[in-house]
């Protein structure tokens, strides 16, 4: 089931990320899609807090990926905005590296063809002063209780 949630403040988006973190298990691949400044990194910060990671998340745009291992579950936070090709994405071996943790990929729309069948796409869209955040499950993500987020 797809779920759509409206966030009317940065704090709400952060809190949603915290709640979402409780659904994550090792091997999960999550795409954060949406245009510039829609709240993808803020949501990822909430996920990190929810996983008990004490390091402040920063945008991995220039380094492509950052790994946080001080929480309940390792978190790999990637931003593929600067990648030139699918081949470059495959070379990163992000999904393999994240097999003992969860992988969050910002701007993942461009690499959907390289993802495993089981993945979740979270899309961030600006609507006036709000953000509409939708969760679209693929493969085994259909069995997750996304409704607990609402
Ligand atoms: N409801 C909201 N949810 C999230 N962010 C919001 C909201 N309302 C306003 N904002 C603002 O939007 C900005 C979101 O920034 P953020 O870095 O999370 O976006 P991003 O999608 O990661 O951008 P980029 O594409 O550059 O990586 C912040 O400045 C935040 O304060
Ligand atoms: Mg970002």
Q: Is 58 in the pocket of ligand 1 (CB under 6 A)?
A: no
Residues 6+ apart with CB under 8 A from 86: 110, 111, 113, 114
Query: Could you tell me where the DSSP H helices lie in the chain?
Result: 10-21, 40-50, 86-92, 94-97
- Euclidean distance between CA atoms 142 and 147, whole angstroms: 11
Asked if 111 contacts 88 with a C-beta cutoff of 8 angstroms, the reply is no
Per-residue pLDDT tens digits for 99-124: 899 999 999 888 999 999 999 999 99
**Which of 78, 133, 126, 131 has its CA nearest to residue 102?**
78
Q: What is the pTM of this model?
A: 0.96
Ligand 1 mutation target, pool 8, 38, 108, most atoms within 8 A of CB: 38
Q: How would you write the pLDDT of the chain (150 residues) with one tens digit per residue? A: 789 999 999 999 999 999 999 999 999 999 999 999 999 999 999 999 999 999 999 887 677 889 999 999 999 999 988 888 888 888 888 888 888 999 999 998 889 999 999 999 999 999 999 999 999 999 999 999 999 999
Q: Is 45 in the pocket of ligand 1 (CB under 6 A)?
A: no
**Which of 115, 43, 100, 40 has its CA nearest to residue 68?**
100
Asked if 16 contacts 4 with a C-beta cutoff of 8 angstroms, the reply is no
Ligand 1 mutation target, pool 18, 37, 43, 105, most atoms within 8 A of CB: 37
Architecture of domain 3-149: 3-Layer(aba) Sandwich (3.40)
- Report the atom number in ligand 1 closest to the C-alpha of 36: 25
- Report the atom number in ligand 1 closest to the C-alpha of 107: 25
Ligand 1, atom 29: closest residue by C-alpha: 37
Q: Is 139 in the pocket of ligand 1 (CB under 6 A)?
A: no
Residues 6+ apart with CB under 8 A from 89: 80, 83, 111, 114
Q: Is 9 in the pocket of ligand 1 (CB under 6 A)?
A: yes
**Any idea where the domains of the chain sit in the sequence?**
3-149
């Amino acid at each position: 089931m797809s779920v759509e949630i409206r966030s009317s403040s940065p704090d709400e988006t952060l809190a949603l990320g915290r709640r979402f973190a409780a659904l994550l298990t090792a091997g999960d691949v999550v795409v954060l899609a949406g245009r510039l400044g829609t709240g993808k990194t803020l949501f990822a910060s909430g996920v990190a807090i929810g996983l008990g990671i004490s390091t402040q998340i920063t945008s991995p745009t220039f380094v492509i990926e950052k790994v946080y291992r001080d929480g309940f579950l390792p978190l790999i936070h990637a931003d593929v905005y600067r990648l030139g090709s699918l081949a470059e994405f495959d070379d990163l071996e992000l999904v393999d590296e994240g097999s003992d943790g969860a992988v969050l990929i910002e701007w993942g729309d461009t690499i959907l063809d390289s993802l495993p069948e089981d993945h979740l796409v979270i899309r961030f869209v600006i609507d006036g002063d709000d953000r509409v955040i939708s969760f679209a499950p693929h493969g085994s993500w259909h069995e997750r209780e996304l409704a607990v987020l609402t």
